Amino acid sequence: MERSFLTFTRSLSQSLRSPKVAARSFSTALRPAVLPRTPTRQRRYLHSTPSHHEDRAPRSRRDSPSDEGSQPDFAALDVLRNTVQPATSIDACTSEGFALNNNMRMAGCGVLLVGGEAYRWRPWLNPQGQKGTVEEDAAREDAMTGRLLNAKGQWEVPDEAWGLLDIVWPKPDLLIIGTGARITPIAPAMRQYLNSLGIRLDIQDTRNAAAQFNLLATERGVQQVAAALIPIGFREARKA
């Protein structure tokens, strides 16, 4: 009886061990075989120190709006603010004439600014041209129509139109010429004549010439700078 019980117990223990052995052999079969290691080529990387650029916000966003006390006073930067503006400086250029700083209005003519004085100037009238009655001459003068361009399209006036510059003393160092609504090159003969008087020239359209005269006359004085300006409404007459 005891022998049969021992035999039964031994067979039962063997039957219980057999699944573990089978499972162990099955797991061993599923385990991949260990392959021999092959030497792999080592990769090399180039490293550089990155530059640290700080992404800054625009100044208008970073800073708070400045108050009126911290803003620069541009009027204090004007070096000519204490300089008296000449009385003959040009306040406005109209199609018919000019308005000066001394409340003088000139219409139907140009202006010649020399030595701090303003003179009416009509260089398009030929003193040796057509003759007529007083009414015809007055109408011709008020028309602001004449010939200021030569055959080559160059701005040219007779030497008699510069008679004031010939007799004035001391002569201005610079003459600013305003040729009307548009800038026009002057004739070489007229440039040579004015240079022979010791006067340098600056040719511009009338608006820019007036602004240039105001600046230079205030800075250098009216004895050094002169101007000869034609109204912007002047019309060139057609050839007969």
What is the pLDDT at residue 191? 96
Cis peptide before 32 (omega within 30 of 0): no
The answer to whether the pTM exceeds 0.75 is no
**Segment 76-98 mean pLDDT:** 78
Across the range 63-72, mean pLDDT stands at 59
> CA dihedral in degrees (122, 137, 237, 232; nearest 10)?
40
CB 176 within 8 A of CB 213: yes
| Of the options 2.170.120.30, 3.30.70.3340, 1.10.3720.10, 3.40.1230.10, the CATH number for the domain spanning 83-236 | 3.40.1230.10
Q: What is the pLDDT of residue 237?
A: 82
Q: Which pLDDT score, from 0 to 100, does residue 100 have?
A: 94
- 3-state SS of 45-113 is CCCCCCCCCCCCCCHHHHCCCCCCCCCCCHHHHCCCCCCCCCCCCEEEECCCEEEECCCCEEECCEEEE
User: Residue 180: which of 148, 214, 139, 152 has the closest Cα?
Assistant: 148
End-to-end CA distance of the chain: 160
**Least confident segment among 28-32, 71-75, 156-160, 233-237:** 28-32
State both tokens at 215.
């600046």
Backbone angles phi, psi at 225, to 5 degrees: -125, 130
Collapsing DSSP to helix, strand or coil, 223 comes out as coil
Per-residue pLDDT band at 97 (split at 50, 70, 90): very high
Dig out the tokens for 205 from the structure: 């359209």
Model confidence pLDDT, tens digit, residues 176-195: 999 999 999 999 999 999 99
d(CA 75, CA 77): 5
- Per-residue confidence (pLDDT) for residue 129, from 0 to 100: 46
Query: Look-up: residue for tokens 């002169």?
Result: 226
Percentage of the chain modeled with pLDDT above 70: 57
Q: In the chain, what are the domain boundaries? A: 83-236
- C-alpha to C-alpha distance for 158 and 122, rounded to whole angstroms: 11
